[in-house]
Amino acid sequence: MTLQHAIPMPGMLHPAGPAASPLASLGWVLLAISVVVVLVVSALVLTAALRAGRESTGVRRSGRGLSWIVVGGLVVPTVILTIVFVLTVRTLGAASPPARSAATIQVVGHRWWWEVRYLDSLPADIAVTANELHLPVGQPVRLELSSADVIHSFWVPELAGKTDLIPGQHNVAWLEADHPGVYWGTCGEYCGLEHARMQLTVVAEPPAAFRRWLDRQRQAAAAPSSAAALAGQGLVTEGACALCHTVRGTTAGGRLGPDLTHVGSRRLLAAGAVANSRGGLTAWIADPQGLKPGSAMPAVGLSGPELQAVVAYLETLR
């Protein structure tokens, strides 16, 4: 079962962080200005249409018409654009990155999923996940954004504005949440067939809970405890899965696809295409192109028992 209609639509006009609040305020101001302009122009057009039926135009009205052109076509737009420019500059200043951050996170856009890396001075303490970003409430985090293929755009409307991910270039953004919750991000730049299903889950939690989560993500994969999971480990770490995926603590070291070390703890699979349940995981492995056409995930041709063993193993990776 896909989640195309289960993920709520993000709303930039309902900000939940200091990077998004100035943008929402600017959005409301721009909306108010637009409404006023539309109403005034509509009233003028309606007035002109009504008068056209009763009066004939003449040379004596040409001077008055020129005044309308100067005022309506030059003066008023100049005043409006100046106000918008000043407000935009002030908004950019208010949404600028803070001097310090609680964590530095690399986000790499792929077709069509998000790679998320929590940097650390010790390479062994770098945590890697996919399509799910955790952050401590009330503390800013620095984002280093890049793309592995085409232009993407990182956008979590309730927490920040859009920032492009451009191949060969590194851009910087930041996030901060005012209160705990789950926020939804997406790719804001058309990037191909599955652009609409390139979703990101952002989980804001208290700082202590965030540190516990990050400590778990830094750990190697748990050893399987059941016979089915043990069989699945062999299929994943020594079979075709290992060519594309990493499972830290095992021989699987592929870098083409998402890191699977803690895949069992994630809320969604395939960047929001399917729920991370036993049924969703089984369906995704068995027929990835049926769930997300065009994705780089191939069907690996597992038998029924092999598929169940792989699912049993991946469920232990929490």
Per-residue pLDDT at 5: 44
**Mean pLDDT (the chain, rounded):** 89
Number of domains in the chain: 3
> At residue 56, does pLDDT exceed 70?
no
Select from 172, 189, 216 the last residue of a domain.
216
Select from 216, 237, 264 the last residue of a domain.
216
Segment 87-143, tens digit of pLDDT:
999 888 877 788 788 899 999 999 999 999 999 888 888 999 999 999 999 999 999
Is the pLDDT higher at 11 or at 237?
Answer: 237
Q: Are 211 and 108 members of one domain? A: yes
- Whether 11 is in a domain gets the answer no
Select from 51, 69, 94 the last residue of a domain.
94
Q: Are 193 and 268 members of one domain? A: no
Q: Are 187 and 207 members of one domain? A: yes
Q: Are 133 and 155 members of one domain? A: yes
Q: Are 87 and 108 members of one domain? A: no
Q: Which domain holds residue 77?
A: 21-94
- Whether 172 is in a domain gets the answer yes
50: confidence class by pLDDT, cuts 50, 70, 90:
confident
- Report the alpha-carbon distance of residue 28 to residue 34 in Å, rounded: 10
**Residue 244 is part of a domain; what is its CATH number?**
2.60.40.420
- Whether 157 is in a domain gets the answer yes
Per-residue pLDDT at 1: 46
Per-residue pLDDT at 72: 81
Alpha helix ranges (H) inside 239-298:
278-286, 288-291
> At residue 61, does pLDDT exceed 70?
no
Q: How many CA atoms lie within 13 Å of 245's alpha carbon, on the beta-carbon side?
A: 23
CB 164 within 8 A of CB 170: no
Is the pLDDT higher at 254 or at 67?
Answer: 254
Peptide bond into 68 cis (omega under 30): no
Per-residue pLDDT at 189: 94
CB 173 within 8 A of CB 20: no
318: confidence class by pLDDT, cuts 50, 70, 90:
very high
> At residue 51, does pLDDT exceed 90?
no
- What single letter denotes the amino acid at residue 314? L
Stated pTM of the model: 0.85
Is the pLDDT higher at 186 or at 12?
Answer: 186
Per-residue pLDDT at 174: 93
